[in-house]
Structure 1
């Protein structure tokens, strides 16, 4: 599979703040939808062995508290990119994306002498970066309506251009950047990646990959209390063409119904979007201010869950 089939050129990337902000403006109207897409996407792609291994070996994703810190840090970085200007030298967004690129390079150097036991490829390759980019933008491209994103094709083109810039700043070759082409081209590439990498990864996930996928959502649950992995994936599995074989608890059904109601109905209305966007900002502030307390909650939850087996499986429809 070729992650991208577009010309390798960066000559049209915007470098002025006014031009660049035009491309991220749709995100500022629907931040909850975008951040939810990022979270679900990450939970889907971590089953890929060459992405799972760096997470488990750096020690920064070894338990629920460390996953919480990692995702909250990712959330704050991405929020900074959306609200700032990654091209402005000396600005907060540019500093943030530079820091993330340095972290990626450090992990790549740490694992440079090792190869993925499944594919034999190096870790954090350009393909891995493309799969990671799918985690952030793939569901937005393929299922905007299911995320409550009532955007025009022009709006979606702007979002793709924003993420093309982000990929470039993080060191992605344009030939691997999912967002280098038109919306229709990016849709085809993302759909191919979903069918060839994402779905097989979920269906054939290792025990460690399945646990990591579930724990990413479990770590965020202290910030978004209605969220459950089972409820969320019951919503998403049918959209991507998989059966999610599990028994939903009452809480999971509540989570599923609230997710469905939010993205299929409530986000159509500006007042509801404003409320949800405010709740997202509150959650980020709460996660930062009360981080130690929330991590203790996660430690207690993790201790209580020891010995429990995963009770779900994905199957092709």
Structure 2
């Protein structure tokens, strides 16, 4: 079952990545998790977020690609490393009286890596069979065990429909509530996170991604503030995931292309990280130049109209 669960990830690589990214964004609405992240400083800037979430994605890829029970495998060593990092972060935060660590925080974090596949899979272009869903749940039950989550708090314990109901409950009582009433520092941390992810895969537009997240959960989000580009990216995500993915042949071609593009992005980020870090500076410079030219053009037109009048 573990292998079949891993196969789901590889088949829907980019779309599972998007579901994880949406969930990680939602985790920032959980006050305890947000305070720990702020305390560690690992997401304090877009560049820091780039390194943090690139590392997170690399770890998750190892889990999905190796034998998680083989103590000599990179997957097992990665899980133990992540467990140690999380334990240290929460312990240090507890000692500094920043926040009290709890199993409930680990529960929500575990949900973040598979929950949306069960509750919103088709809306994300992820179409799993029942056996694939069961295998994915079993895989994350094993990951939860290896990360030190007590069986009583393991989201994946029980039958598939029981797990699905649990995921919907977490979504309704924790995530949706958090998005509607986010903590004070949510906005800046979310901005840092999404701009860091933008350096990994430039097609992730922060504003469009926030709008898509609200759309996914049927929450109101003002689209009037979106730029034309963000509006385009929001509509593109919705169109590809909800409609194109259902078209025979075409949907498969798009899925394979998406997966290959994300694999290429990760290869470049891991091989040439300075290029990705410089990309944001270059992008910002280009945008500033374009905006300056447009402002100068607008001012020139205004002056010409003023003289004519």
* TM-score, normalised via structure 2 length: 0.85
Matches within 5 A, 1:70-219: 70-115=52-97, 122-123=100-101, 125-219=102-196
Which of 221, 241, 249 aligns to 2:198? It is 221
| Equivalence for 2:237 | 259
Deviation (angstroms), 1:192: 1.2
| 1:250 maps to 2:254 | no
The 2-side partners of 1:294 and 1:65 are apart by: 9
SS at match of 1:156: helix
SS at match of 2:220: strand
Deviation (angstroms), 1:233: 2.7
Residue correspondences, number: 282
1:192-230 deviations in Å (ceiling 9; x for gaps): 111111112112213311221232111111232222222
- Give ranges in structure 1 of 5+ residues lacking alignment: 1-18, 306-317
Runs of 4+ in 1 over 4 A off after TM superposition: 299-305
Preserved contact between residue 164 and residue 179 of structure 1 (Cα < 8 Å): yes
Deviation (angstroms), 1:35: 0.9
SS at match of 1:61: coil
Q: Which moved more, 1:37-46 or 1:246-255?
A: 246-255
Larger radius of gyration: 2
The 2-side partners of 1:58 and 1:261 are apart by: 38
| Equivalence for 1:53 | 35
| Equivalence for 1:34 | 16
Q: Which moved more, 1:263-272 or 1:294-303?
A: 294-303
Preserved contact between residue 64 and residue 299 of structure 1 (Cα < 8 Å): no
Deviation (angstroms), 1:302: 8.5
Preserved contact between residue 70 and residue 76 of structure 2 (Cα < 8 Å): yes
Root-mean-square deviation (CA, aligned residues, Å) is 2.1
Preserved contact between residue 44 and residue 202 of structure 1 (Cα < 8 Å): yes
Preserved contact between residue 269 and residue 275 of structure 2 (Cα < 8 Å): no
| Equivalence for 2:255 | 273
Preserved contact between residue 64 and residue 298 of structure 1 (Cα < 8 Å): no
- Give ranges in structure 2 of 5+ residues lacking alignment: 289-309
Which has the higher relative contact order, 1 or 2, with Cα contacts under 8 A spaced 6 or more apart?
A: 1
Structure with more helix by fraction: 2
